[in-house]
Amino acid sequence: MNFDERIVVTGGAGFLGAHVVCALAKRGYANVSVIRSRDFNLTCPEDVERMLRSRPADVVVHLAAVVGGIGANRRHPGTYFFENLMMGALLMEKSRLAGVKRFLSAGTICSYPKFTPVPFREEDLWVGYPEETNAPYGLAKKMLLVQSEAYRQEFGFDSVNVLLVNLYGPGDNFRPETSHVIPALIRKCLEAVETGASEVEVWGTGQATREFLFVEDAAEGVVAALEKLGSSAPVNLGSGHEVSIRDLASRIAAITGFTGQIRWDPSKPDGQPRRCLDTSRAKAWLGWSSTTSLEDGLRRTVDWYRENRQP
């Protein structure tokens, strides 16, 4: 890639997108356009065409997505499937027709089968069906891997893919209806401290495990993939460290100063039993690995939320 190439970032004003735009600027890329949903509906073919006409691109970084936690996935499975599939499929097809030279798609760990052996290796993507609560979202993103490889084979279209583990960090979504586990727990604990509540409720048993990647590390990984990946084979981007939700809740409670009881609700789903990635491909192919510990990342996220949240 050349530093003067025209780069379009869908979802560039979002959580990950804003950090990717900053990472691109730090690397010296000066011609970056941010695509916002208020300006273009990427599930509409005419809007995708209009976007590519008004923002001619040499490179497209597709980060736009409709995402949420377990509750949001259970409430909107059709919406999550349709919008994520159509955004990616249309954008890749219209980019090919518009002469885009390179296309990066950000996939998700939710595409992995429910009982994937831990740590998740990219070769295991197709050994089973995803965890049911987020399968529509995970499968929609997974189809873009198929499209990417098929377009490379038939059209020589240069499309590459990364698979992102659960992200967190400054700028995360803290809205109760759609937030993921880390911002949800931070908000609950801080509000409990302020109101003097003696307990907070958390979905599930706490036994499920997850892997979390600090968003600034993720952004560096995306830029590394954009510059270095030479095939459509997906690459895991993660920290490589597994933590139980119970342990995570205890860490967040300590950082926020919440000393009350964490009450688990086993009537609610845990989601996928375990999640932890094998990141050896990212190290070998991209020379990338995460550098922010979970403890440091959580403290930075809590500090950011304290300073920026609305009453």
Ramachandran area for residue 16 (φ above 0: left; ψ -120 to 50: alpha; else beta): alpha
Which residues, listed in sequence order, are joined to residue 235 by a DSSP beta bridge?
A: 162
In a domain, 203, yes or no: no
Q: Yes or no: say if 171 and 22 are a contact pair by the CB < 8 Å rule.
A: no
Q: What is the pLDDT of residue 22?
A: 97
Q: With contact defined as beta carbons under 8 Å apart, do 111 and 81 qualify?
A: no
Per-residue pLDDT at 147? 98
Instruction: Establish if 33 belongs to a structural domain.
Output: yes
How do beta strands 159-164 and 235-237 pair? parallel
Pairing, β 32-35 against β 209-214: unpaired
The pLDDT value given to residue 272 = 84
Return the pLDDT at 251: 98
Report yes or no on 147 lying in a domain: yes
pLDDT along the chain (311 residues), means of 10: 95 96 97 96 98 97 90 91 98 98 96 94 96 94 98 98 97 89 96 96 94 98 97 97 96 97 93 92 98 98 93 60
Query: Which residue segment(s) compose the domain that 165 sits in?
Result: 7-169+213-241+276-291
Q: Is residue 310, in this structure, part of any structural domain at all?
A: no
Active site (catalytic) residues: 137
- Asked, for residue 25, whether it belongs to a domain, the answer is yes
Side-chain half-sphere of 57: how many Cα atoms within 13 Å? 31
In a domain, 195, yes or no: no
Q: How many domains does the chain have?
A: 1
CB–CB of 23/222 below 8 Å? yes
Pairing of strands 209-214, 166-168: parallel
pLDDT at 311 (0 to 100): 60
pLDDT at residue 67 in the model: 84
Per-residue confidence (pLDDT) for residue 1, from 0 to 100: 84
Tokens linked to 141 = 């993103």
How far separated are the first and last CA of the chain, in Å rounded?
A: 44
Cβ contact 202:263 at 8 Å: yes
Name the nearest CA neighbour of 242 among 274, 271, 214: 274
Residue 287 inside a domain? The answer is yes
Per-residue CA distances from 7 to 62, 103, 139 (Å): 11, 10, 27
Report yes or no on 191 lying in a domain.
no
Domain CATH for 138: 3.40.50.720
Which pLDDT value is given to residue 121? 97
Using CA atoms, how far apart are residues 305 and 186, in angstroms rounded to an integer? 8
